[in-house]
Amino acid sequence: MYELMSEKDIIAFNQAFDKGTVINKSSLSFAVEEANHTKSWLRGCAVLVRAILIDHVFEEGNKRTAASVIGAYLDEQGLLYNEEAIPKAVTKILMKNMTNIRTIERVINDVII
């Protein structure tokens, strides 16, 4: 089991950009539960990013929140990554409306140096 973030942590990320107003609580709760019960940090990150971006968890700031979540997971793993590639990855996930967790995992993995 891999535990990194709680709902409060993710809301705090959003509050750095907006008010932290959750408009899809069930999706956020489900994603946090799933992310915290996986053995893979990458899968946990992808589940959270998918919920934030595709399910539109917050009223505003979803893209920046998802980028912050990706950065936090990569930092926690001690991985080197291209910071400029994270916003591009977020945009790619959104523009292609990616819902498949494995596909999102590959996009996140591509920012690692």
Q: What is the CATH number of domain 7-109?
A: 1.20.120.1870
- Residue 1 pLDDT > 50: no
| Residue ranges of domains in the chain | 7-109
**pLDDT above 90 coverage of the chain, percent:** 96
Closest CA to 11 of 46, 71, 58: 58
Q: The whole model's pTM is what?
A: 0.94
- Cα–Cα separations (whole angstroms), residue 3 to 43, 50, 93, 96, 102: 12, 17, 23, 28, 19
Residues found in the chain: 113
* Residue pLDDT, tens place only, 31-85: 999 999 999 999 999 999 999 999 999 999 999 999 999 999 999 999 999 999 9
